[in-house]
Amino acid sequence: MKITEIKTFLMQVGSRPGMPAGAGSFRGSRNWLFVKVETDEGIYGIGECSGWPRVIERAVQDLANVLVGEDPRDIDRLWQRLYVATMGHGMTGTVGGGALTGIEMALWDIKGKVLGQPVWNLLGGKFRDTIPVYGHAKSPERAQELMDRGYSAVKVGFTGAVNLELVASIRDTVGPDADVMVDAHGPSWMTAADAIAVGRELEQLDLLFYEDPVAPENLGALQRVRDAVDIPLAAGERVSTIWGIRPYIERDLVDVIQPDTGRAGGITQMRKMAAMAESHYITMAPHSGSLGPVAEFAALHVLATIPNVLMLERVEIDWPGRYEVVTPVLKAEYGALPVPDAPGLGVELVEEEIEKYPSQRNVADMPENEGAYEPGTFGECVYFQPRLRRRSRLRLKRTEES
């Protein structure tokens, strides 16, 4: 069996033909990139690349020159060959990690189809038949809607300063038996001192984890937060490969690693990350905030086979096109997704639907709301920013009243 061609399918998410680019989620900047690896025996595999899909597409097309004529079943050897091929262009970042991921995912899909087995069975078998998922809530009403759908865990995400009163309100809404998480990602990123101040206030709300309290490359600051705050920490969605996740694990900086299933480097890399984390008693909860449906299938196969799974992020009630571009469609029941049983990944592209959404743009140059920055500084759009009026902005009213 030989690889004959690699095709890419790039699409805009949240914008139908005739609609402005800004319509839909992610301020009109969200793209999905799917990969199809074809062989001379008519068997093909599909994968998904994330990170910067519009740019990654060119990387995949360039790497196709290395793969055509190769046996797709030699997954690890081909991954190493691709990794070495990109080495001369610098360290593997978002683009390289995304390209490696989508291609390797498609190779696993091929192998599963050739052997007539789901990918999870090729990875050693499964621990579980369903994977717990959590949703996103920006209001108590949304949190209640997720609870009504059977979810038992919600995450509150912020750009800039964390709204502590909103987190407290959502905790009150879901009650003590549900899990609440906080994602404090930037921009603007908090300084270590502000992340610690926020974390100490969050301690009283019994969080499952406090995610990305400081910028991802600022590992010294993450260590300071780790030492000062009594809440489990989570991070890792922006790194690729075992070498990218290594310092988070070896330095015990987090309790939860969050590799992105579309840019972590591939299914094998995800499994290796999980094993590294297991040796440090760290769990895994993969990032899925901007991903499409193919990577979600891949995540289920990985999480079914590892002992230290926590849960999977899911954008519940996503853009309607998500449920049109692949078959079958995953449906969460009682806060969990079923592990697929079909050979390979168990998902197929609906190419004619993907073609309806041509890519228009893939970057958004400013945060979604001016609340991410100090008043009057929105136009500066700086990477990190200290918080002013710290007493009023970094404390819960209920703490002051108690």
Write down the pLDDT at residue 11.
Answer: 96
Residues contacting residue 392 through CB under 8 Å, at least 6 positions apart: none
Residue 190 has pLDDT above 80, yes or no: yes
Percent above pLDDT 90 for the chain: 79
Q: How confident is the model at residue 116 (pLDDT cuts 50, 70, 90)?
A: very high
Residue 231 has phi, psi (to 5 degrees) of -140, 140
Write down the pLDDT at residue 18.
Answer: 58
Write down the pLDDT at residue 317.
Answer: 77
> Cis peptide before 358, with omega less than 30 degrees from 0?
no
What distances in angstroms separate CA 401 from CA 83, 201, 396, 398, one per listed residue? 56, 14, 9, 5
Residues annotated as catalytic are 185, 287
pTM equals 0.94
Residue 236 has pLDDT above 60, yes or no: yes
Written as six digits, the tokens of 362 are 């893939």
Q: How confident is the model at residue 91 (pLDDT cuts 50, 70, 90)?
A: confident
Write down the pLDDT at residue 365.
Answer: 73
Mean pLDDT computed over 170-196: 95
pLDDT digits (tens, 9 = 90+) for 262-318: 999 999 999 999 999 999 999 999 999 889 999 999 999 999 999 999 999 998 777
Handedness of CA 333, 338, 342, 345 (dihedral sign): positive
Percent above pLDDT 70 for the chain: 93
Write down the pLDDT at residue 22.
Answer: 45
Write down the pLDDT at residue 280.
Answer: 98
pLDDT digits (tens, 9 = 90+) for 3-59: 999 999 999 998 665 555 444 556 678 999 999 999 999 999 999 999 999 999 999
Residue 322 has pLDDT above 50, yes or no: yes
3-class secondary structure, 244: helix
Q: Which of 31, 47, 66 is nearest to 108 (CA)?
A: 47
